[in-house]
Amino acid sequence: MKKSKKGSARIKTIDAFQVFDSRGNPTLEAEVCLENGVIGRAIVPSGASTGQFEALELRDGNPLRFNGKSVYRAVENVKQYIAPALKGHIVEEQEKLDQLMCELDGTSNKQHLGANAILGVSMAIARAKANHRNIPLFVSLTEGAGNLLPLPEIQIIGGGVHSGGRIDIQDFMIICTGAGSYNECMEMTFNVYHTCGELLKKSGRLAGVADEGGYWPDFEKNEDVFDTLLEAIERAGYQPGQDIHLSLDIAAAEFYEDGRYHLRLEGKSLTSDQFYQLIADWCRTYPIISIEDPFGESDTSNWAKFTAEFGHSVQIVGDDLFTTDVERVKIGYSSQLANSVLIKPNQIGTVSETLACLRQTKKFGWNPVVSARSGETEDAFIAHLAVAANAGQLKVGSFSRSERIVKWNEIIRIARYLNSEARFKGGSILPIGVQ
């Protein structure tokens, strides 16, 4: 590895400006310039299905400008409040700087300055620190402790709010549990993704590409997607449940209302118990190895029951349930509501808090899954985060669209940098059923 530069560097200026995400919506880019001329930049992503406990993404709300989605207030908060407060501070002190921004905001959900303003600066500080030391970001983030290449979780068919509600379930994904390397995962995914596209075209069910690059399908039932995906895996030359397993992001909070689950595709309204049986039947019928947000975040009795019944064989991931918040993860662990945590930096708002949640998740013996958002950017920060923290898994969407591929490609570059020091655990990090 390259040797880092010695000595500290202080922050000279911090700037921010409005750019655009993968949906063409405004977002914030931050720029941190050090006294020695080194610069760090970062762009903040945005989610469509957001949990009620997430830190606040500050938007202007003026319908005459970008349909209310502009982020000029967040930009101004960086310039007017954050920049003067952090000027002159040592860039290496990430945790201290993040804490200063949190104190400057003064709210539990960062609603004053905006989580997008704070996170943009926090990520840019991390980049400036790495650039100052002349080392890769993933090395700088955890002082060289990370060398585990993540097992990809890749969307093949997109649904929910990512595809205009064409199907109720948000993500139908694959995990290449039989792959022996990261590169083999990429090849297997390539084969399945393009085979699935051909099947959808021939059947007349392809309606386009969803927000995260997965196919935007036209089905009459949610179960029909399973059949198509399993056929694609087999036609690509793999064995479902052996070489490749399925992974679902139910995003159940999007259709959980008044204690019932409303599946609009099929015109069904299910009680909590009925929906539990549906999800349980899917796990018994199909080779599902991971399932995210199977229930609404307030339906905790079902979370606990499901974990008790399936936690030994299925990775049960809390996203809206935990929102990358250490305290919420602690509560979830004490009640055994899941066995894994989705990690999204913009849910909590700083790099330090994100790393703290990753550490706490692993301390509990749970799996962290570093994740992108549906409104993504060309910034590959989370690829470095996944390796730096030895998270073991990465979820960034599908196998198309450059804002997705840039993350997958960055892992390839990181692997080249690590060379023989790179590790890959593959499917062995998942529940016992695939080992």
433 has a pLDDT exceeding 60: no
234 is catalytic: no
In a domain, 60, yes or no: yes
DSSP letter assigned to residue 167: S
Question: Are 218 and 294 contained in the same domain?
Answer: yes
CATH assignment of the domain containing 254? 3.20.20.120
Is 342:319 a contact under the CB 8 Å cutoff?
Answer: yes
Q: Are 181 and 67 within one domain?
A: no
* Per-residue confidence band for 266, with pLDDT thresholds at 50, 70 and 90: confident
Residue 94, domain CATH: 3.30.390.10
Domain boundary, last residue among 72, 104, 135: 135
Residue 1: which pLDDT band, with cuts at 50, 70 and 90?
very low
DSSP string, 200-254: HHHHT-EEEE-TTSSEEE--SSHHHHHHHHHHHHHHTT--BTTTBEEEEE--GGG
pLDDT tens-digit map of 361-407: 999 999 999 999 989 999 999 999 999 999 999 999 999 999 999 99
- Is 140 a member of any domain? no
Average pLDDT, the chain: 94
Selecting among 212, 292, 376, 403, the annotated active-site residue is: 212
Our answer to whether residue 212 is catalytic in this structure is: yes
Q: Are residues 190 and 106 in the same domain?
A: no
- The string of pLDDT tens digits covering residues 60-119 is 999 999 999 999 999 999 999 999 999 999 999 999 999 999 999 999 999 999 999 999
Please give the residue range of the domain that contains residue 52: 11-135
Asked if residue 67 and residue 167 are part of one domain, the reply reads: no
Residues 315 and 283 in one domain: yes
Which tens digit of pLDDT belongs to each residue from 2-11?
444 556 799 9
**Do residues 419 and 411 touch, judged by C-beta distance below 8 A?**
no
**Predicted model pTM:** 0.95
Q: Which of 65-74, 200-209, 331-340 has the lowest mean pLDDT?
A: 200-209
Do 314 and 251 fall within a single domain? yes
CA angle 176, 413, 361 (to 5 degrees): 55
d(CA 53, CA 292): 16
170 and 259 share a domain? yes
Show which of 135, 169, 186 is a domain's final residue: 135
In contact, 345 and 54? CB cutoff 8 Å: no
SS (H, E, C) 349-375: CCHHHHHHHHHHHHHCCCEEEEECCCE
pLDDT for position 206:
85
Q: Residue written as tokens 């929910």? A: 160
Looking at the domain assignment, is residue 3 inside a domain? no
Are 123 and 169 within one domain?
Answer: no
Q: Which of 69, 110, 129, 344 is catalytic?
A: 344
At residue 31, the pLDDT reads 98
Residue 401 domain-assigned?
Answer: yes
Domain co-membership, 89 together with 183: no
Q: Please count the structural domains in the chain.
A: 2
- Assess whether 126 and 243 both reside in one domain: no
